[in-house]
């Protein structure tokens, strides 16, 4: 895995005349079309003509002195669940291929276009975003850039999003995160990925999985890339987050649940990251968060994602269940077992749970935990066994989904040694602390890059 260009690097190249938006778009499209690469499994649809037209317009505007944002002329991919006017939103499925094209762009797509981003295509995903692994039997599964000969999962559900960035088919990818679907592929593929507070970025025009939990965020080469893109998605000025010194930052490591079952390379990378942050002056404290252990009991009668996904899919499943990925269809149908009373009870329990966790985290700038407790498993092993598939899915979703239930914000960034298997370090905070968390994340990223 090579060092990836950041938004700022590409912007400087464009400003200096050493690159053009058209050249960047052509290079991204060439990589996507390379028969020897992963492009056929990364994208469900390429928008070459539209991308090149946008790139030509960007170059003309730049020549006239107009630069709309840091994303001006930058190749960006979008997950296949965002509406684009005139295109069918298929969400990684074949079931919706005959649906009517979208009448208008999703707000996040509109904001990207207004910012000058060059959208190169729609990226593959777990069907209807209902898994953290990234497998897709309809369009294939793009292989993780690490140990590609073995073909390991990219993570999901934003699978194609991650590989589009690692393989140079886009500089930034836009995904959705309901239980970790931005942070998991970022962690497993060695990228930065940001899940904002849900209310920060509009979810209209995105095919829903869970209206209570869905959030929209970027995957990219650096925390700064994520911060700039997040600001654009949120309709804010695209400026870097407030700088934050790591010295005396108050960081809490939850000891409950999130450290269970770590594979040795993940445990080693996590401990090394804590040591490096402590050496940089961060004050790290291990704390108990018993509420994390209560999540299984709260979900004994069903989950918000299960119930809300069932509500959206129930009529489609009644007619065309055989066309779904069987593993996705099975999980969707499980939502039918949750009663309205159970759902209302869970909403109330969530409010109490959020208040309790926020009280425990109140004295800290962020929580620190491994994004994913294991390295990326082999694709073929999970394809061959339902038992292995569902066990891996539950384990890989375990840590990230805590922050979705918290209605918080979270950042995953690489913490492994160069050349080693990718491992993600997650920083998380209560809802509404997005910009402060991103500023802290830049300081953490800088400290982790200063190798001994």
The residues annotated as belonging to the active site are: 79, 157, 181
| Ramachandran sector of residue 65 (left: φ over 0; alpha: ψ -120 to 50; beta: rest) | left
Is 421 in a helix, a strand, or coil?
coil
In terms of Cβ atoms closer than 10 Å to its own Cβ (0-12, 13-18, 19+), residue 50 is middle
Tokens encoding 344: 């209302």
Chain centroid offset of residue 56 CA: 29
Segment holding 320, helix H or strand E: helix 304-320
| Ramachandran sector of residue 261 (left: φ over 0; alpha: ψ -120 to 50; beta: rest) | left
- Residue-wise burial string across 407-441, b where 16 or more C-beta atoms lie within 10 A, e elsewhere: bbbbbbbbbbeeeebbbbbbbbbbbebbbbbbbbb
Tokens encoding 276: 């490096």
Q: How far is Cα 410 from Cα 104, in angstroms, rounded to an integer?
A: 30
């Amino acid at each position: 895995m090579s060092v990836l260009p950041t938004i700022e690097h590409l912007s400087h190249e464009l400003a200096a005349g050493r690159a053009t938006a058209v050249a960047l778009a052509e290079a991204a499209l060439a990589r996507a079309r390379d028969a020897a690469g992963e492009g056929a499994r990364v994208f469900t649809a390429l928008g070459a003509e539209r991308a090149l037209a946008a790139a030509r317009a960007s170059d003309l505007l730049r020549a006239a002195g107009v630069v709309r944002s840091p994303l001006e002329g930058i190749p960006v991919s979008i997950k296949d669940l965002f509406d684009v006017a005139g295109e069918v939103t298929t969400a990684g499925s074949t079931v919706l291929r005959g649906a009517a094209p979208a009448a208008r762009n999703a707000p996040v797509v509109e904001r990207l276009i207004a910012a000058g981003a060059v959208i190169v295509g729609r990226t593959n995903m777990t069907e209807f975003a209902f898994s953290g692994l990234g497998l897709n039997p309809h369009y294939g599964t793009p292989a993780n850039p690490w140990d590609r000969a073995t073909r390991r999962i990219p993570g999901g559900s934003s699978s194609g999003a991650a590989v589009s960035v690692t393989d140079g088919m886009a500089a930034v990818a836009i995904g959705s995160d309901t239980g970790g679907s931005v942070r998991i592929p970022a962690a497993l593929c060695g990228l930065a990925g940001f899940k904002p507070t849900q209310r920060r970025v509009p979810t209209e025009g995105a095919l829903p999985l869970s209206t209570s939990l869905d959030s929209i965020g970027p995957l990219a080469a650096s925390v700064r890339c994520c911060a700039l893109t997040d600001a654009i998605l949120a309709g804010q000025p695209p400026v870097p987050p407030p700088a934050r010194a790591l010295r005396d930052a108050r960081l809490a490591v939850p000891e409950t649940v999130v450290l269970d079952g770590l594979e040795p390379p993940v445990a080693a990378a996590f401990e090394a990251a804590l040591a490096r942050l402590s050496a940089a002056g961060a004050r790290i404290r291990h704390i108990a968060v018993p509420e994390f252990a209560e999540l299984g009991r709260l979900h004994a009668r069903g989950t918000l994602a299960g119930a809300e996904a069932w509500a959206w899919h129930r009529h489609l499943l009644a007619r065309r269940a055989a066309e779904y990925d069987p593993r996705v269809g099975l999980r969707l149908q499980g939502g039918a077992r949750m009663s309205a009373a159970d759902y209302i009870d869970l909403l109330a329990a969530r409010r109490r749970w959020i208040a309790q966790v926020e009280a425990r985290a109140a004295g800290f700038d962020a929580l620190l935990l491994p994004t994913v407790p294991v390295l990326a498993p082999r694709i073929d092993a999970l394809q061959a066994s339902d038992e292995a598939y569902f066990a891996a899915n539950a384990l890989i979703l375990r840590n990230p989904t805590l922050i979705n239930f918290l209605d918080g914000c979270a950042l995953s960034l690489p913490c492994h040694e160069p050349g080693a298997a990718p491992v993600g370090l997650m920083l998380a905070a209560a809802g509404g602390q997005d910009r402060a968390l991103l500023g802290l994340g830049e300081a953490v990223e800088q400290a982790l890059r200063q190798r001994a």
